[in-house]
């Protein structure tokens, strides 16, 4: 499947900015809503997953919304991952990363190893460290908290995007503190934003079967609500392509959309394709590239109030992620040094991409590459020494577009109206 070029896209435009194309009969009412900037409902979302509805037409509608938000830009960053331990008290059916304490593959990093990873990130010009890991039953709350403090004190310019809602729920248990108190502790230690992991699928029909002991949907959402109230930006995710059905996916997206209406604190949604190898669901077939692209497009169309949709190349594969830039995605994530979780589950993508490769992928897809930091500000590199960088202006998005924000029912909030705390 070939990404739409700018020329192809413009050839389909009407002078008023809307599509001129042969639309499948089932899509006509949805097209009218999208063109008018109106919100799609549950039934609309289910229809978008109907295999009789052509994927390319769903993708073109998603591309319209994508370009309203972000024009022709496609974002990336220089980032590294830190998975400080794989020892975990939970036994989620879909996880290939976790380990028992006495398992030969089990590990927990030392302070020296953690600092070395931070130094490596800084030496390679990274602006972000993404920190997630297992829930180690022999490590106390202070171990997790001090890890952040250690990194922040040593590398104050490195943005720490740390700990999912599932981990924060575990910290509540360890510290006997409220969600708010835990997040305040993390912010004081140096956390600058929260990743979106642990959401999986919210609906209990699925969640109770694949991760029954994890924080449930209401608590996951409450943790992110609290983070937003405290001024933190967060991401959100959905794990698809395992035992869930389209209804569960649309239900999941609507729950995220409802919280975003309330807080405006989500900045990026990442649909995560399930990798079955080495998991308790190894009999499940990996989702196809066609499902990946449809899910990307449906997510962009349903999430009318979240500015960015990310095509995470680690899980999608490089070709599908590149193509997704024409199916609603506007971000490829980043260089991603030292990712372990999805590679343990069978991801065959490289463990790192160079900046030149990422930019080439974006240009080949007909988009304009833009380096960003974690909270979507432009990054300006020193041309003579690219390791040196400065933060530029905030990246404008299409949330002020009346076609999107006034008629969708979404709350128009963002960098101009909500605090962003950067350590």
Residue of higher predicted confidence among 59 and 280: 59
- C-beta of residue 99 within 8 angstroms of C-beta of residue 87: yes
Summarize the confidence of residues 11-16 as an average pLDDT: 41
pLDDT > 80? residue 1: no
Weakest-pLDDT range from 78-92, 167-181, 193-207: 78-92
Summarize the confidence of residues 281-307 as an average pLDDT: 91
Weakest-pLDDT range from 131-140, 189-198, 245-254, 388-397: 131-140
Q: What distance in Å separates the CA atoms of residue 117 and residue 159, rounded to the nearest whole number? A: 14
Residues of the chain above pLDDT 90, percent: 64
Average pLDDT value over all residues in the chain: 84
Q: What distance in Å separates the CA atoms of residue 147 and residue 345, rounded to the nearest whole number? A: 26
pLDDT in tens, 352-376: 688 889 999 999 999 999 999 999 9
What is the full DSSP assignment across 17-75? S-B-S---GGGHHHHHHHHHTPPP-HHHHHHHT-TTS-HHHHHHHHHHHHHHHHTTEEE
- What integer pLDDT is reported at residue 414 of this predicted model? 36
pLDDT in tens, 55-78: 999 999 999 999 999 999 999 999
- What integer pLDDT is reported at residue 398 of this predicted model? 67
* Cα 381 → chain centroid: 24
Which residue bears the tokens 């905030």? 394
Summarize the confidence of residues 244-259 as an average pLDDT: 97
Residue 376's nearest CA partner among 345, 414, 412 is 414
| Structural domains present in the chain | 73-405 (3.20.20.70)
What is the full DSSP assignment across 202-214? -SHHHHHHH-TTS
Which residue bears the tokens 């869930």? 244
pLDDT > 70? residue 161: yes
Question: Residue 273 region, left (φ>0) first, then alpha (ψ -120 to 50), else beta?
Answer: beta
The pTM for the full model equals 0.85
pLDDT > 90? residue 214: no
pLDDT-derived band at 100, boundaries 50, 70, 90: low
Question: Residue 407 region, left (φ>0) first, then alpha (ψ -120 to 50), else beta?
Answer: alpha
Summarize the confidence of residues 26-54 as an average pLDDT: 95
pLDDT > 50? residue 229: yes
Q: What distance in Å separates the CA atoms of residue 29 and residue 361, rounded to the nearest whole number? A: 34
- What integer pLDDT is reported at residue 383 of this predicted model? 87
Residue 64's nearest CA partner among 110, 21, 119 is 21
What is the full DSSP assignment across 375-415? TSEEEEEETTEEEEEEEEEEPP-GGG-HHHHTTS-----ST
What is the full DSSP assignment across 132-175? -----TTS-HHHHHHHHHHHHHH-TTSEEEE--HHHHHHHHHHH
pLDDT > 60? residue 332: yes
Residues of the chain above pLDDT 70, percent: 79
Helix (H) or strand (E) holding 188: helix 179-189
Residue of higher predicted confidence among 92 and 192: 192
């Amino acid at each position: 499947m070939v990404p739409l070029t700018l020329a192809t896209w413009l050839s389909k435009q009407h002078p008023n900015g809307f599509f001129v194309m042969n639309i499948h009969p089932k899509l006509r009412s949805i097209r009218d809503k999208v063109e008018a900037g109106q919100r799609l409902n549950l039934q609309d979302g289910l229809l978008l997953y109907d295999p009789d509805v052509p994927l390319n037409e769903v993708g073109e509608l998603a591309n319209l919304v994508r370009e309203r938000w972000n024009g022709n830009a496609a974002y990336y960053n220089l980032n590294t991952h830190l998975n400080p331990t794989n020892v975990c008290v939970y036994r989620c059916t879909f996880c290939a990363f976790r380990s028992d304490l006495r398992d030969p593959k089990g590990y927990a990093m030392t302070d020296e190893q953690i600092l070395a990873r931070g130094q490596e990130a800084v030496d390679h010009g990274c602006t972000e460290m993404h920190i997630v890991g297992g829930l180690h039953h022999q490590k106390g709350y202070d171990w997790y908290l001090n890890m952040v403090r250690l990194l922040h004190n040593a590398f104050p310019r490195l943005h720490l995007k740390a700990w999912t809602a599932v981990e924060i729920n575990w910290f509540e248990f360890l510290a006997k503190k409220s969600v708010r108190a835990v997040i305040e502790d993390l912010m004081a230690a140096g956390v600058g934003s929260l990743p979106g992991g642990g959401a999986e699928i919210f609906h209990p029909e699925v969640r109770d079967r694949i991760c029954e002991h994890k924080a449930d949907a209401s608590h996951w959402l409450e943790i992110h609500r609290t983070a937003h109230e405290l001024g933190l930006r967060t991401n959100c995710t959905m794990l698809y392509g395992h035992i869930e059905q389209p209804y569960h996916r649309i239900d999941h997206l609507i729950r995220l959309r409802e919280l975003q209406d309330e807080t405006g604190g989500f900045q990026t949604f990442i649909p995560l394709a399930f990798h079955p190898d080495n998991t308790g669901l190894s009999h499940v077939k990996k989702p196809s590239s066609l499902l990946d692209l449809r899910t990307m497009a449906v997510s962009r169309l349903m999430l009318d109030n979240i500015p960015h949709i990310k095509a995470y190349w680690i899980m999608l594969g490089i070709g599908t992620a590149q193509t997704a830039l024409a199916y609603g995605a506007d971000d490829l994530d980043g260089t991603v040094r030292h990712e372990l979780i999805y590679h343990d589950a069978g991801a065959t993508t490289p463990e790192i991409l160079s900046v030149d490769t990422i930019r080439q992928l974006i240009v080949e897809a007909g988009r304009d590459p833009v380096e960003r930091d974690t909270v979507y500000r432009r990054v300006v590199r020193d041309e003579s020494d690219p390791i040196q960088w400065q933060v530029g202006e905030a990246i404008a998005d299409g949330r002020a577009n009346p076609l999107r924000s006034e008629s969708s029912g979404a709350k128009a909030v963002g960098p101009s109206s909500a605090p962003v705390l950067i350590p």
